[in-house]
Chains A and B, each alone.
Chain A
Amino acid sequence: MSPAIAPPPAPVQAPLIPPSEHPWAEVIHRLEAGGSMLPDTPENLMQIIGIYKAYAVPMDFYWRDLLYIAERVFLNPLPAFKYFPSQAYLDRPNAYAGDESQLRIWRGGEKAHPELLAFMARGETVAMPKLLHHLWHDRINMEFAEACMQAMLWHQGMGGRFNAYLESDSYRANADRAIRAFFKGNPVMLGLYKLFPEMFMEQVKQMSYYANLGLFWEVMAPVFFEMSDLYDEGGFQGVPDAMNFLVNGIFAVAGRPIYHHVYVGDECIEVIPKSEGFTWLYEAALPYVEAVFYRTAPFRGTKSYNAQAGQVPTDQSDFHYGILYADVFPVGSAGIPPTLLMQDMLHFLPPYLEELYAQHRRGEEDQLIQLGITFQRSMYNVTSAVIQALRCALLYPLDDTDPEHLLANRRFFEAQMDRFLRPEARLGAIQSQDYR
């Protein structure tokens, strides 16, 4: 047997561009290497995949109910039952998942997820009429989904053509047609419409954002379900794999339509027709990330801000109250949308996350906080996917050999990281596994 000969050392290749001097240089270098803002550790991977699963189940309800409200409840002046989507919406096949989908990309999705249906039947208490579950708050809390929609509506103008279209004559004509059809035979509401047309138009715009967000989450729910399934099958080796799955998903559906249809009886009124060409990436995903992950609003109840003391910026684009900046820690009061999301996710935690939480801090007692921080980690990973997707779409490959191209990528990443220089950004916190 011949003695083993050590292979010659690989030539050390000098980097094509100098190291970044940005305060988040370490994260930037990780992004340039194809990684995520979230460090690549087995526990991080387990946490984010577990929480994607726990998020996907309520999200499967959110998107169905958002579309139900946008399409069916519409301008009902007393929408007391808007959180009770019809069976048709619960049985509605996902447009991108399962055999009955229009464009099959992911698994499942023929109807609402079985875990969601089981929870809706029984809740965390006992089987009882839907109304009692609702009043007892033993349900999926749509208030969180509506708060996200309102953030998108309120911030507006975050890229894409969607918001500008809501001011167009064609949109107003379509909305007018929908309003008249919806209130046909209702002289009181039609009279009010005549008196206050702009008020009704604003309501229709809000309904369009309901549809926009519903269509966005219709994509995200099966993505997260499939990530969970793949993880359970041993499919992901690290956080970058999970991020790349998201990037691939984004590109797979980037061009899918965003629209708003209203159903009055059997009639379908296209308030925003598919033919307008609004796309999932530019008119839904990017505005959503900007509005919900970065901006949202300062008055959510988790922390008080004093506008008179200058703690609230005058420019909405300077708002940074989203999940990437949120102080997840002190939540726990009732009625706050992010807390309601955590409550929703709590019902669907996979066993391995429950075990993980039991080992740290206060175990079962503070699962809400631990899962909230996991959610924050996972959203940094989703944001990383969006940043990488934008870099893919607008700039150059990471393995490009042209230093100018790499510098352009560098400038893009540094500009993105500038948004996390704010002291309230949690990017630094998530670099440590001790942040729980």
Chain B
Amino acid sequence: MSPSSLLLLLALPLVAALALPLLPEGPSLRVRSLAALATASQLVVALLAWRLPPADLQLAWLPKLGLELDLGLDGLSLPLVLLTALLSTMAILSAPVDQSRPRLFYSLLLATNVGVVGAFLARNALLFVLAFELVLIPTTLLVAIWGRDRRAGAAIRFLLYGAVSGLSLLAAVLAFGWLNANGLDFSFAGLAQADLPPGAQAWILALLLLAFGLKLPIVPLHGWQPFTYSQAPTPVVMLLGGVVSKLGAYGLLRFGVGFLPDTWAAWSPWIAAAGAVSAVYGALNAIAQSDMRRLMAYSSLGHMGLLVLALAAATPLALQGAVAQILAHGLIVALLFACVGLIERRTGTTAIAELSGLLNPLRGLPVTAAMLLLALMAAAGIPGLAAFPAELLVFEGSWTAFPRATLVCLVASGLTAVYAVRLFNRVGFGRLDNARADWQPTRWAERLPALALTLLVIGFGLWPGALVGWSEAETGALALRAQPFLAATATTPITVAAAAPRTIALILAAPSPLAVPSI
């Protein structure tokens, strides 16, 4: 494909975002269809880019500042662009048919998409910062305008945390460029070769950890997450949990592991510890929650802990697991919130104590509840669903580097099953209250996004090669530590199927047609 196709990935949602507010007032459904068409087209272009990889695109923008429109796709960014396009489409389709102020709403959703995709496509750190910051504006407005009762507080908190995150990132990137002994160069290629004094590296990594730790988030930088997730409208929280938070993981992998490998390796025990603390803290808090949205926010926090552990370990398997975890968690958390959104739309509540018997075939929401059950099982890492191969890779890959932290994360992963069972036992089973259960069943059109995500969660669980094959080459190159059982094949190109123990090899034995050709 032509490099301009990379521009198309941004232009499609951008043009739609700019055009939607100019449309004459009309039915909300029409606006939603146009927005979904834009992101679906973006998904098609991304799929074409996977099969026909385009070369990098470099256009001078503000060369004096080192800002260039430098775009590219590799095994790290391509799956995330696909995920963003997919989840954006699903989020748009998850919005209610009678969405209020639809032109502005969908325009802001598309602007969020542009920011996230722009950050994943960026091959220039300043461009990345620009896109990273761009995400904050529409998401804050979406929470502030269409959130629940306490939306103002949630939006302000989200904005403040996001601003600190953005400023930290900007400071880190500027320091990267200015302190580089090789001269001012914000391109990823230049940053990978940057010559920085050790003290500066430590400061930059601290800023990066603050910036991306706030975005992920990890403990103790998570203050915005439960509140925002509980207040944001469903499509927004699907995007926040599914892709926006993944900017943090991607940033840590790209900037931390990729550009500051020595400092990252030196700090990794502390980073792994932070991951383990996040995993346990998130799981324990999830158990204590009385609201489904907050429960899922803390669940997400726990899963981000696993991700951070894998990034800290930085073995080939762990990094591959991290990318797989980003994808799997993105799908699962979007599915969870899609189901909770449907339940909330019908029942008017997400309070666990007020819900019960949703599996009731006659008066409940059996299809939605069944999808919620499957999503909870997936979040708990049940084999056969998408999170299992990802978490298995994370644990296998991290064990050799940080056995204690891995063990703690394994326990936290076990706690996932506790809150999943507790939640579903309360809302799925039991009797329906006749006075409350006066709602209509969800329609197939409403269920479509959740259903598509459900199929993907099952599909990636049954065919994990499709989940973990994307980033094999890139994660192998980024790895900071050898995998002990990979030593025998260390001289050959690292492939998970060849390197992994027997169990992993069995899972990954089939060559994945999704394996990304080197770009």
Q: Could you list which residues of chain A lie within 8 angstroms of chain B, going by C-beta atoms? A: 303, 327, 329-332, 361-362, 365-366, 368-369, 373, 429, 434-436
Contacts and interface: CB of A to CB of B under 8 A. Distances in A.
Contacts of B431: 303, 327, 329-330
Interface string B348-362: 000000000100111
B363 interface: yes
B503 interface: no
Q: Which of A362, A373, A436 counts the most chain B CB atoms within 10 A?
A: A362
B438 interface: yes
Given A303-B431, A327-B431, A329-B432, A361 B360 contact: no
Give the most central of A332, A435, A436: most B CB within 10 Å: A332
B190 interface: no
B434 A329 contact: yes
A435 B432 CA distance: 13
Contacts of A362: 362-363, 440-441
Interface in B349-394: 357, 360-363
Contact of A330 (B360, B438, B440, B441): B360
A366 B441 CA distance: 11
Interface string B426-445: 00000110110110110000
Nearest to A432: B435
B434 A365 contact: no
Nearest to A369: B362
30 contacts: A303-B431, A327-B431, A329-B363, A329-B431, A329-B432, A329-B437, A330-B357, A330-B363, A330-B431, A330-B432, A331-B362, A332-B360, A332-B361, A332-B362, A361-B363, A362-B362, A362-B363, A362-B440, A362-B441, A365-B362, A365-B441, A366-B362, A366-B363, A368-B362, A369-B362, A369-B363, A429-B434, A434-B435, A435-B434, A436-B434
B290 to A, nearest CB: 23
Contacts of A434: 435
A369 B440 CA distance: 14
A332 B441 CA distance: 16
Question: Which 9 pairs between the two chains have the least Cβ-Cβ distance?
Answer: A332-B362, A366-B362, A330-B431, A332-B361, A329-B434, A369-B362, A366-B363, A329-B432, A330-B360
Chain B interface size band reads 10 to 19
Contacts of B360: 330, 332
A436 B434 CA distance: 8
Given A362-B362, A368-B362, 5 more contacts: A303-B431, A330-B363, A332-B362, A361-B363, A373-B434
A368 B362 CA distance: 8
A361 B440 CA distance: 7
A368 B363 CA distance: 10
B34 to A, nearest CB: 33
B93 to A, nearest CB: 24
A331 B364 CA distance: 11
Nearest to A373: B434
Contacts of A368: 362
B438 A361 contact: yes
A362 B438 CA distance: 8
A429 B438 CA distance: 15
Interface in B125-184: none
Nearest to A329: B434
A331 to B, nearest CB: 8
A81 B361 CA distance: 32
A392 to B, nearest CB: 34
Interface string B402-445: 00000000000000000000000000000110110110110000
Nearest to A429: B434
Interface in B38-76: none
Nearest to A361: B438
B154 to A, nearest CB: 34
Nearest to A363: B440
Contacts of B432: 329-330
B284 to A, nearest CB: 29
A376 to B, nearest CB: 11
Nearest to A366: B362
Contacts of A303: 431
B370 to A, nearest CB: 15
Among B357, B360, B435, chain A packs the most CB atoms within 10 A around the CB of B360
Query: Which of A327, A330, A366, A369 has the most CB atoms of chain B within a 10 A radius of its CB?
Result: A330
Contacts of B362: 331-332, 362, 365-366, 368-369
Nearest to A367: B362
A343 B98 CA distance: 37
A362 B360 CA distance: 13
A329 B361 CA distance: 11
B476 to A, nearest CB: 53
A257 B308 CA distance: 82
A434 B437 CA distance: 11
Interface in B282-325: none
Nearest to B437: A329
Contacts of A429: 434
A331 B441 CA distance: 17
B6 to A, nearest CB: 49
Contacts of B435: 434
A435 B357 CA distance: 17
Contacts of B434: 329, 373, 429, 435-436
A427 to B, nearest CB: 14
Nearest to A435: B434
B236 to A, nearest CB: 30
A106 B406 CA distance: 80
B426 to A, nearest CB: 15
Nearest to B434: A329
A390 to B, nearest CB: 30
A361 B346 CA distance: 13
Contacts of A361: 363, 438
B262 to A, nearest CB: 61
A327 B437 CA distance: 14
Contacts of B361: 332
B357 to A, nearest CB: 6
Nearest to A434: B435
A369 B360 CA distance: 11
Contacts of A331: 362
Contacts of A366: 362-363
A84 to B, nearest CB: 31
Contacts of A332: 360-362
B440 to A, nearest CB: 6
| Most chain A CB within a 10 A radius of its CB, from B357, B362, B438, B441 | B362
A365 B360 CA distance: 12
B348 to A, nearest CB: 16
Most buried by A among B360, B363, B431, B437: B363
Contacts of B440: 362
A369 B362 CA distance: 8
A429 B437 CA distance: 14
